[in-house]
Structure 1
Amino acid sequence: MAVDMDEFWVFGYGSLMWNPGFRFEEKLTARAFGYRRSLCVRSWVHRGTERHPGLVLGLDYGGSCIGTAFRVAPAQKAEVIDYLRERELVTHVYKERTMPVQLSSGQRVSALTYVIDRSHVQYAGALSAEEAAATVAVATGKSGPNSEYVLNTLEHLRDMGIRDHWLEEVAAKLAAGGAESLRA
């Protein structure tokens, strides 16, 4: 099957997979190469505050990432881009990129996605599962508790048959103890 070069795709790797917030024509599992899913963004808005930041996912350099590709109708492209920019570029911790992704069908398409800006003050870098769990356990932002974000994302990854061992370890540490034991 030939890919229409005028198609517009969006690649999601975190909450966008289970809460896209926009209309789409098709949804497929896809893989982005050269980037990995990482709980590396200090959230100052949606899952934490500037004073008590949470952690959310970003695409960071290295490896590959299985996520979801959404095909958007041409008539919806501008509206979807505006929506995503408002949602993802709140503090400009992400850089908007168009990158190749491989669909579950084997086809390669270009997809709009958001990758971490490592030079941004909100970039948390590589954290241990213990450090991440301690942060997640106590953070809440305008979209709710940080732990809810992590657990929802993990549940959806599992539903898609995707294993993320590090995120699973963070969730296990969240389940094993409350914020008090994680901070101790």
Structure 2
Amino acid sequence: MVFWVFGYGSLVWNPGFEYDEKIIGFIKDYRRVFDLACIDHRGTPENPARTCTLEQIEGAICWGAAFCVRGGPEKERLAMEYLERRECEYDHKTLVDFYKEEDPLQPALTGVVVFTSTPDVVSNKYYLGAAPLEEMARQIATASGPCGNNRDYLFKLEKAMFDIGHEDDMVIELANEVRKVLEVGKGISKEELVASPLMKLKSQSPIPALQPSRLPEAVAADS
């Protein structure tokens, strides 16, 4: 038995389950958006966080990581149960083709599981929909929950995409807008901004500023 799952949000840097192989690559006709409410990890019902989901758009690509689980049905079951608890805001498991940079035309893997969310505010209580960049940035800058604050989720994703060599322009733009909110002091100190993972990395090495171009319980993990 073997299955693969594609991570495009916090799974990229924090899978949280036992896996046997990790491959960097991308899926087609999807793009990463911050249109999903998180009310139990990085936000609360009163002040939901914004986390990643996927939007279908022809011609788009979304980079991330595919994780393989081998070892029989029991190991597969445990991994899937963990993921279903962790990804509870996502109401669909979609099967997609996964591509590697070396061959962008021929799928390296088929039937890869990816958690997606219905983009409808009526049928999906977790779907927030799109919003102006400044509004999303203010929400992300101020939301927090049991796993920490929403802005660190965004900054860790920004750093994770940098680390795999495939920055996401939208993530960079949104992260820079959040930094602007933090800098003007809307209830958050500038010291907290400097403590973000990517800002630490920049302060320790001559990396130019980016421009757009096993957890015990799933409840303690990001979505």
Q: Which runs of 5+ in 2 are unaligned?
A: 189-223
Deviation at 1:127, TM superposition (A): 2.3
Structure 2 match to 1:116: 117
Preserved CA contact (<8 Å) 2:90 2:115: no
For the pair shown, which has the larger CA radius of gyration, 1 or 2? 2
In 2 relative to 1, CA 146–98 (structure 1 residues): closer, same or farther, beyond 3 Å?
same
Q: 1:13 aligns with which of 8, 13, 17?
A: 8
* 2:138 counterpart of 1:137: no
Q: Percent of aligned positions with the same letter in both sequences?
A: 29
String of CA shifts for 1:143-175, please: whole Å, max 9, x gaps: 110001000011000111112112111111222
Preserved CA contact (<8 Å) 1:129 1:166: no
* 2:64 counterpart of 1:67: yes
Partner-residue secondary structure (3-state), 1:103: coil
Structure 1 match to 2:48: 53
Once residues 138 and 30 of structure 1 are traced to their aligned partners in structure 2, the CA distance between those partners, rounded to angstroms, is 32
Partner-residue secondary structure (3-state), 1:98: strand
Structure 2 match to 1:3: none
Q: Which runs of 5+ in 1 are unaligned?
A: 1-5
Once residues 165 and 26 of structure 2 are traced to their aligned partners in structure 1, the CA distance between those partners, rounded to angstroms, is 13
Partner-residue secondary structure (3-state), 1:23: coil
Preserved CA contact (<8 Å) 2:138 2:181: no
Q: 2:186 aligns with which of 158, 162, 180?
A: 180
More strand by share: 1
Once residues 103 and 69 of structure 1 are traced to their aligned partners in structure 2, the CA distance between those partners, rounded to angstroms, is 10
Partner-residue secondary structure (3-state), 2:99: strand
String of CA shifts for 1:12-53, please: whole Å, max 9, x gaps: 001001100111111111211121111110111111111111
In 2 relative to 1, CA 81–12 (structure 1 residues): closer, same or farther, beyond 3 Å?
same
TM-score (norm. length: structure 2): 0.73
Q: 1:151 aligns with which of 123, 142, 155?
A: 155
The runs of 4+ residues in structure 1 deviating greater than 4 Å are none
Q: In structure 2, what residue type is equivalent to 1:99?
A: V
In 2 relative to 1, CA 105–165 (structure 1 residues): closer, same or farther, beyond 3 Å?
closer
Q: In structure 2, what residue type is equivalent to 1:133?
A: A
Preserved CA contact (<8 Å) 1:12 1:69: yes
Deviation at 1:103, TM superposition (A): 3.4
The two structures, once aligned, show a CA RMSD in angstroms of 1.9
Give the number of equivalent residue pairs: 175
Once residues 111 and 105 of structure 1 are traced to their aligned partners in structure 2, the CA distance between those partners, rounded to angstroms, is 18
TM-score (norm. length: structure 1): 0.87
